[in-house]
């Protein structure tokens, strides 16, 4: 089986490792090329069309927007997926979206059937991209906040003393370990023939099994690392993913046979901490 992997950053490199270990042939692209990747600008139809000779069995779009705003989101995500669908008609495309499309602020559990009506333009572009991919017979994974080796905003801020508990700490944190995310994507594409029998869209939340409130997370970190609890402060309403308060359910994905190696963020913190 051959995978065309569009995006070779933090998540993409982990996806590549998982698929190669499983015996797949992987052709990876990045904007600049290098490190064994092909150079491709997903926002450019001609650049994407130049990949046609690869003839993959599946395509994964996990390229990042470079921390850009709506214009970057539209170019990389919406236009990028449109160009991939045009270049590889009939080839299943998996797009890595975000749980930020859920704008709930009441602490409720959200499933794939919950309203996904983002209040930011970037989130609305992700939703348009999801609809495009689903209408072409593709798959969507909505990823929670990714952490793992060398990356954890929550843990790093805690260890450096920069963390702040927003108000009473009731806001839920939804996360996924990078390696669990990569394993889930391999699982979904390896199971795609069976998944096609589901009586629902091929749309899956990709989050761990234990949403934690800020207070729960920081209380556990304080105990684990023998450090004081962070101070309280106001809500951070300028968060890139928006200020939301919800519990993301991974039940639909787990029902397909996938289970996270790290069901909770707290299961991984001791191994992640030395890498930060």
CA dihedral of residues 65, 69, 71, 72 (deg, nearest 10):
-10
* CA angle centred on 105, ends 227 and 152, rounded to 5°: 35
Residue in 73, 96, 58 with CA at minimum distance from that of residue 178 = 96
Give the chain's mean pLDDT. Answer: 95
Q: pTM for this structure?
A: 0.95
Q: pLDDT-derived band of residue 68, with 50, 70 and 90 as boundaries?
A: confident
Per-residue pLDDT reduced to its tens digit, 146-196: 999 999 999 999 999 999 999 999 999 999 999 999 999 999 999 977 776
Where does residue 262 fall: left (phi above 0), alpha (psi -120 to 50 degrees), or beta otherwise? beta
Residue range 237-248, pLDDT digits in tens: 666 556 789 999
pLDDT(35) > 90: no
Output the pLDDT for position 247: 98
Are 222 and 228 in contact by the 8 Å Cβ rule? The answer is yes
Q: What is the pLDDT of residue 192?
A: 79
Three-state SS at 15: helix
Residues above pLDDT 90, as percent of the chain: 90
The residue among 41, 68, 60, 63 whose CA lies nearest residue 122 is: 68
Tell me which of 5 and 66 has the higher pLDDT. 5
pLDDT of 193 reads 74
CATH fold label, 2-275: Rossmann fold (3.40.50)
For every residue of 83-98, DSSP letters joined together read HHHHHSTTS-EEEEEE
| Residues pairing with 157 in the sheet | none
**Which tokens is 201 given?**
């869209």
pLDDT of residue 194: 79
Distance set, CA 236 to CA 166, 171, 181, 187, 232 (Å):
7, 11, 26, 35, 12
Q: Kindly state the average pLDDT of the residues 28-40.
A: 94
Q: Tens digit of pLDDT for each residue in 189-216? A: 999 777 766 767 899 999 999 999 999 9
pLDDT at residue number 199: 65
Question: What SS3 class is residue 128?
Answer: helix
34: confidence class by pLDDT, cuts 50, 70, 90 = confident
Quick check: 11 pLDDT over 80?
Answer: yes
- pLDDT for residue 239: 62
pLDDT band at 56 (very low <50, low <70, confident <90, very high): very high
DSSP state for residue 37 in the 8-state scheme: B
């Amino acid at each position: 089986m051959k995978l065309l992997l569009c995006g070779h950053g933090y998540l993409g490199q982990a996806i590549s490792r998982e698929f190669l270990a499983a015996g797949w042939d992987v052709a990876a692209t990045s904007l600049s090329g290098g490190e064994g990747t092909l150079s491709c600008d997903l926002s450019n139809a001609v650049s994407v069309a130049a990949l046609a000779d690869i003839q993959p069995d599946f395509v994964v779009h996990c390229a990042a927007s470079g921390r850009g705003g709506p214009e970057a989101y539209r170019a990389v995500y919406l236009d990028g997926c449109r160009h991939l669908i045009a270049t590889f008609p009939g080839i299943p495309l998996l797009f890595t979206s975000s749980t930020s499309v859920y704008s709930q602020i009441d602490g409720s559990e959200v499933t794939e059937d919950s309203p996904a009506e983002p209040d930011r333009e970037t989130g609305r572009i992700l939703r348009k991209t999801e609809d495009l991919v689903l209408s072409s017979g593709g798959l969507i994974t909505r990823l929670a906040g990714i952490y793992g080796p060398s990356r954890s905003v929550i843990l790093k801020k805690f260890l450096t003393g920069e963390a702040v508990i927003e108000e009473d700490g009731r806001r839920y944190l939804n996360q996924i370990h990078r390696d669990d995310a990569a394993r889930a994507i391999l699982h979904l594409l390896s199971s795609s023939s069976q998944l096609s029998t589901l009586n629902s869209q091929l749309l899956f939340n990709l989050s761990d099994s234990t949403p934690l409130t800020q207070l729960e997370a920081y209380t556990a970190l304080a105990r684990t690392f023998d450090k004081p609890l962070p101070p309280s402060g106001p809500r951070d309403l300028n968060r890139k993913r928006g200020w939301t308060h919800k519990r993301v359910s991974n039940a639909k994905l787990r029902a397909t046979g996938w289970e996270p190696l790290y069901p909770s963020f707290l299961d991984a913190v001791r191994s992640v901490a030395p890498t930060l």
